[in-house]
Amino acid sequence: MRHYLKSLVIAAATFYIAQLVIPTIDVGTSIKNYALVIGAIFLIVQIINPIFSLVLLPINHLTFGLVMFALNVALFFALIHFLPGFTVGAFDFAGATVDGVILPPVSFNQTSTVILAALTIALIQKILHIIFE
Protein backbone atom coordinates (compact mmCIF):
# COMPACT_ATOMS: atom_id res chain seq x y z
CA MET A 1 0.00 0.00 0.00
CA ARG A 2 2.85 2.34 0.83
CA HIS A 3 4.41 1.76 -2.58
CA TYR A 4 1.21 2.73 -4.40
CA LEU A 5 0.71 5.82 -2.26
CA LYS A 6 4.30 6.90 -2.91
CA SER A 7 3.84 6.32 -6.62
CA LEU A 8 0.61 8.34 -6.61
CA VAL A 9 2.33 11.26 -4.86
CA ILE A 10 5.21 11.05 -7.35
CA ALA A 11 2.71 11.10 -10.25
CA ALA A 12 1.05 14.20 -8.80
CA ALA A 13 4.38 15.95 -8.24
CA THR A 14 5.56 14.99 -11.70
CA PHE A 15 2.48 16.42 -13.37
CA TYR A 16 2.70 19.60 -11.28
CA ILE A 17 6.35 20.15 -12.23
CA ALA A 18 5.60 19.41 -15.89
CA GLN A 19 2.85 22.03 -15.80
CA LEU A 20 5.30 24.54 -14.34
CA VAL A 21 7.93 23.79 -16.99
CA ILE A 22 5.48 23.69 -19.92
CA PRO A 23 2.74 26.25 -19.24
CA THR A 24 0.65 25.25 -22.29
CA ILE A 25 -0.46 22.01 -20.59
CA ASP A 26 -4.05 22.77 -19.63
CA VAL A 27 -6.35 20.63 -17.55
CA GLY A 28 -9.11 23.11 -16.93
CA THR A 29 -10.38 24.37 -13.61
CA SER A 30 -12.07 21.24 -12.27
CA ILE A 31 -10.40 19.20 -9.55
CA LYS A 32 -11.94 16.14 -11.21
CA ASN A 33 -9.83 16.75 -14.33
CA TYR A 34 -6.65 16.94 -12.24
CA ALA A 35 -7.59 13.72 -10.46
CA LEU A 36 -8.26 11.98 -13.78
CA VAL A 37 -4.93 13.07 -15.28
CA ILE A 38 -2.93 12.12 -12.18
CA GLY A 39 -4.80 8.81 -11.92
CA ALA A 40 -4.13 8.09 -15.59
CA ILE A 41 -0.41 8.84 -15.18
CA PHE A 42 -0.39 6.57 -12.11
CA LEU A 43 -2.06 3.74 -14.04
CA ILE A 44 0.34 4.14 -16.95
CA VAL A 45 3.34 3.94 -14.63
CA GLN A 46 2.03 1.06 -12.50
CA ILE A 47 0.25 -1.17 -15.03
CA ILE A 48 0.76 -0.32 -18.69
CA ASN A 49 4.51 0.44 -18.74
CA PRO A 50 5.55 -2.76 -16.89
CA ILE A 51 3.46 -4.92 -19.23
CA PHE A 52 4.87 -3.32 -22.37
CA SER A 53 8.34 -3.28 -20.88
CA LEU A 54 8.19 -7.04 -20.42
CA VAL A 55 6.68 -7.73 -23.83
CA LEU A 56 9.04 -5.38 -25.70
CA LEU A 57 12.16 -6.20 -23.67
CA PRO A 58 14.39 -7.40 -26.54
CA ILE A 59 13.44 -4.52 -28.83
CA ASN A 60 13.80 -2.05 -25.96
CA HIS A 61 17.35 -3.21 -25.26
CA LEU A 62 18.30 -3.01 -28.93
CA THR A 63 17.03 0.57 -29.19
CA PHE A 64 18.46 1.68 -25.81
CA GLY A 65 15.03 2.49 -24.39
CA LEU A 66 13.64 4.47 -27.31
CA VAL A 67 10.71 2.08 -27.67
CA MET A 68 9.56 2.87 -24.13
CA PHE A 69 9.92 6.58 -24.81
CA ALA A 70 7.81 6.19 -27.96
CA LEU A 71 5.26 4.30 -25.87
CA ASN A 72 5.17 7.14 -23.33
CA VAL A 73 4.57 9.66 -26.12
CA ALA A 74 1.77 7.49 -27.55
CA LEU A 75 0.17 7.14 -24.11
CA PHE A 76 0.40 10.91 -23.61
CA PHE A 77 -1.40 11.41 -26.95
CA ALA A 78 -4.03 8.94 -25.74
CA LEU A 79 -4.48 10.97 -22.54
CA ILE A 80 -5.06 14.09 -24.61
CA HIS A 81 -7.58 12.29 -26.78
CA PHE A 82 -9.57 10.48 -24.07
CA LEU A 83 -9.49 12.73 -20.99
CA PRO A 84 -11.98 15.60 -20.98
CA GLY A 85 -10.50 19.07 -20.72
CA PHE A 86 -6.87 17.93 -21.06
CA THR A 87 -5.09 19.84 -23.82
CA VAL A 88 -1.54 20.64 -24.79
CA GLY A 89 -0.93 23.68 -26.97
CA ALA A 90 2.03 25.02 -28.89
CA PHE A 91 4.86 26.27 -26.65
CA ASP A 92 7.29 29.13 -27.26
CA PHE A 93 10.47 28.78 -25.19
CA ALA A 94 11.82 32.31 -24.71
CA GLY A 95 15.42 31.20 -24.21
CA ALA A 96 17.59 31.30 -21.11
CA THR A 97 21.10 31.74 -19.84
CA VAL A 98 22.31 29.23 -17.24
CA ASP A 99 25.81 29.79 -15.84
CA GLY A 100 27.05 31.25 -19.10
CA VAL A 101 25.37 28.63 -21.28
CA ILE A 102 22.94 30.32 -23.66
CA LEU A 103 19.81 28.40 -24.62
CA PRO A 104 18.28 29.99 -27.74
CA PRO A 105 14.56 30.64 -28.09
CA VAL A 106 12.64 27.76 -29.68
CA SER A 107 9.05 27.44 -30.89
CA PHE A 108 7.41 24.05 -30.45
CA ASN A 109 4.26 23.02 -32.31
CA GLN A 110 1.64 20.89 -30.57
CA THR A 111 3.21 17.56 -31.52
CA SER A 112 6.70 18.52 -30.38
CA THR A 113 5.23 20.01 -27.20
CA VAL A 114 3.58 16.64 -26.44
CA ILE A 115 6.93 14.91 -27.04
CA LEU A 116 8.64 17.46 -24.76
CA ALA A 117 5.95 16.94 -22.08
CA ALA A 118 6.33 13.14 -22.25
CA LEU A 119 10.11 13.52 -21.97
CA THR A 120 9.76 15.90 -19.04
CA ILE A 121 7.34 13.61 -17.21
CA ALA A 122 9.52 10.53 -17.81
CA LEU A 123 12.69 12.26 -16.59
CA ILE A 124 11.06 13.76 -13.51
CA GLN A 125 9.47 10.41 -12.60
CA LYS A 126 12.81 8.61 -12.92
CA ILE A 127 14.55 11.23 -10.77
CA LEU A 128 11.84 11.18 -8.08
CA HIS A 129 11.75 7.37 -8.00
CA ILE A 130 15.55 7.30 -7.58
CA ILE A 131 15.39 9.89 -4.78
CA PHE A 132 12.56 8.23 -2.86
CA GLU A 133 13.55 4.56 -3.28
Domain limits for position 113:
2-132
How many domains, the chain?
1
Q: Are 14 and 116 in contact (CB under 8 A)?
A: no
- CA torsion 64→9→121→3, rounded to 10°? 10
Could you say which DSSP state residue 25 is in? Answer: E
Q: What is the pLDDT along the chain (133 residues), one digit of tens a residue?
A: 888 899 899 999 999 999 999 999 998 888 888 898 898 888 888 888 888 888 888 888 888 888 888 888 998 898 889 888 888 999 999 888 988 899 899 999 999 999 999 999 989 998 998 998 7
